Structure 1
Amino acid sequence: MADVEDVEIVVAHRERATVRVGEVFLKVDSDQARLDAETDAIVSAPIPTPKILWRKPSVLALAALPGIPLGRLGEPSTASPAAWAAAGAALRTLHDAPLPPRLGRTREQLAAELEFECAWLLTNDVLPTDIITRNRRIAEIALRPWNPVFTHGDLQVAHVFVDGDAITGVIDWSEAAQGDAMYDLATLTLGHPERLKDVVAGYGAEVDLDVIRAWWSLRSLRGVRWLLDHGFDPAAPGCEVDVLKAQARTG
């Protein structure tokens, strides 16, 4: 039994789960359409992605990527400025690619979600009223017209793998869709505002820093209830609650 690989639960909640067995990741998702969209995005994205080993109903098997995550939310990133810039360059390549067929959320849908989540936060006394109010005002800046691009949709810093200064791959494409380029840039730098300059330098195109900051607030306001409902702690150091407090101080 010495050669038996341990099973590591990477993430698990009611919607989907990812486990690791040796050098293989198994993604289990009850939503077939979402798993189809993720598979299509991995195949069509013009940047490094995990190799698909096989696909069964509700399960996608992926090969592990070399390297380590660019960082972790709530922890200082030890990656070099060049690695962060490389992540920005990879995002630019993705955003310049042909649009995927899957549509993302509209401005109207996002506005409705923002209203609902802020009301829930206030009703349940999750955060002080002034923090919610200030962040909502900031978040509304993101709800302007945008030209849709191929977005990753959940480009958390832990989803980007690097080896030295080079990007070795990007994982977790379950939210890939047509969307706002600034949202990907904001998600990548959420909790790591000091790295925004490096990412923008690598991105190599005009960006609206106010919109990126607005997406920090919007993503965090929308995320608190979901995290609580799925057994995660949005108040962990450096996570959504800390982001909202920081945004309220500077907004």
Structure 2
Amino acid sequence: MDEVEVVVAHGERVTLRVGDVFLKVDGDQARIDVEVEAMSLAPVPTPEILWRRPPVLALAAVRGATLGRLGGPSVGSPAAWAAAGAAIRRLHEAPVPPWTGRAGRGADVLVAELEEECALLVAEGVLPAALVARNRRVAEAVLRPWTGAFTHGDLQIAHVFVEGGEVSGIIDWSEAGRGDPLYDLATFTLGHEERLGDVAAGYGTDVDVDLEVIRGWWSLRSLLAVRWLIGHGFDPFAPGCEVDVLRARM
């Protein structure tokens, strides 16, 4: 019998690996519905859906390996990172889904989330007030008009697999939908700023990848994530992770 590996486990969902099969258990069926629909529409490689029996979704493992992980060293050639950028561009140029994803939250929602979260980070002594205030100012760069695109919404480096210099699969589509394309680029390069140039080269020089906005999304995503991560058994203070991303803005 294949060993059962717990890939991710917290109060919202659990992902298990049994051999070459991933089992995603999620009580929120709307989230699974989005994942299935987004994978059917995305013009990039996605996992094969083996079967679905609520609350479980079974997916085949994708080939290849990731280019690293948050908090660890990045791997792969510049060409591999450029290939990821090109795949992200293909996604962003696809017809926009009719629903709004995580990357499409409006400015009013983001401002409210930031104000509440920044206040709690300081009040609970999680982070120094100066660090929070500085990153709150950096995050304001994302509050500008943008053209909606087909976004993944959670395009962290661990969700993109590369084989032979090409993207072989992109996983975890539950946050996909209409959104700000720079959110995806920022999420993919979070903690690996030195790779942004390679990703941007693959994405295309005909598009303005606004570095100020990218840095704003790095700060915003990290500010909103710290307390959630702590509460779900993760360590945002680990070297190279979210708190280090915030410190880099100082």
Measured against the shorter chain, the TM-score band is: over 0.9
Instruction: Write out aligned runs for 1:117-156 (5 A).
Output: 117-156=117-156
RMSD over aligned Cα, in angstroms?
Answer: 0.8
Amino acid at match of 1:138: V
Matches within 5 A, 1:165-176: 165-176=165-176
| CA distance in structure 1 between the aligned counterparts of 2:33 and 2:146, rounded to whole angstroms | 26
Task: State the alpha-carbon separation in 1 of the partners of residues 182 and 22 from structure 2.
Answer: 29
Corresponding residue for residue 83 of structure 1: 80
Pair 1:55-2:56 in alignment: no
Please say if residues 79 and 164 of structure 1, whose CA atoms lie closer than 8 Å, have aligned partners that are also in contact: no
Q: 1:45 is matched with which residue: 28, 42, 46?
A: 42
Aligned-pair CA distance for 1:127: 1.1
Residues 65-84 of structure 1 aligned to structure 2 (within 5 Å): 65-84=62-81
Displacement after TM superposition at 1:57 (Å): 1.1
Corresponding position: 1:8 with 2:5? yes
Q: C-alpha displacement at 1:33, in angstroms? A: 0.6
Distance in 2, Cα, partners of 1:59 & 1:101: 25
Report the 3-state secondary structure (helix = DSSP H, G, I; strand = E; otherwise coil) of the residue aligned with 1:18.
Answer: strand
> In structure 1, what is the equivalent of residue 233 of structure 2?
231
Q: Is there any run of 5+ residues in structure 2 with no aligned partner, and where?
A: none
Does residue 103 of structure 1 match 2:100? yes
Identical counterparts, % of pairs? 67
Offset at 1:37? Answer: 0.3
Misfit runs of 4+, over 6 Å: none
Return the match for 2:244 from 238, 242, 245. 242
Q: Following TM superposition, by how much is the alpha carbon of 1:108 offset from its aligned partner in structure 2, in angstroms?
A: 1.0
**Residue 52 of structure 2 aligns to a residue in which SS?**
strand
What per-residue deviation string (whole Å, max 9, x for no partner) do you get for residues 94-119 of structure 1? 00011112213212111111111100
* Residue 160 of structure 2: aligned partner: 160
1:25: which partner in 2? 22
Secondary structure of 2:131's aligned partner:
helix
What amino acid maps onto 2:115 in structure 1? E
Q: Distance in 1 between matches of 2:107 and 2:128?
A: 26
**What is the deviation of 1:164?**
3.2
Matched residue SS, 2:24? strand
Q: Which moved more, 1:89-98 or 1:104-113?
A: 104-113
> Relative to structure 2, which stretch is displaced further, 219-228 or 94-103?
94-103
Given residue 83 of structure 2, which amino acid in structure 1 is its aligned partner?
A
Measured after TM superposition, the shift of residue 142 of structure 1 is 0.6
Residue 16 of structure 1: CA displacement?
A: 0.6
Q: Which amino acid aligns with 1:196?
A: L
Q: Distance in 2 between matches of 1:122 and 1:151?
A: 32
For structure 1, the 5+ residue unaligned runs are: none
